[in-house]
Amino acid sequence: KMFSITGWNTISGENNIVPEKVYVTLTKENDDPLYFEALQINRADVNNHFGQPNTTDSGFSRIINTKSLKGEYVVGVARLNKGRLEKCQIQKRVQIND
């Protein structure tokens, strides 16, 4: 089984600054987060929204094999900004079953 997530993340869309790396996180209650490095991709819609047609890699995409995962997880996004890991505020609970 696979789990797919896509989205976008900028440090400053208006100033054309994107993260060094983006990670999808899965966290089970009372466990440390699992980090999955995402592929950074071009998102023309985000670029247009911020009036930055030449921004590269404001989007991200990741497919995660969930074969070894089971239970309720919180899905999140983290980014690397100037060498510091920052967690985004938006999270979503998901149930992963057999």
Of residues 64, 75, 17, the one with CA closest to residue 38: 64
C-alpha 54/C-alpha 20 separation (Å) is: 17
Q: What is the pLDDT, as a whole number, of residue 5?
A: 96
Whether the model pTM is above 0.75: yes
Q: Which two tokens stand for residue 13?
A: 């869309």
Residues of the chain short of pLDDT 50, as ranges, are none
- Spatial contact of 55 and 13, defined as CB atoms under 8 Å apart: yes
Q: What is the pLDDT of residues 59-87, one digit of tens each?
A: 999 999 999 999 999 999 999 999 999 99
- Spatial contact of 60 and 7, defined as CB atoms under 8 Å apart: yes
Q: What are phi and psi of 36, to 5 degrees?
A: -125, 115
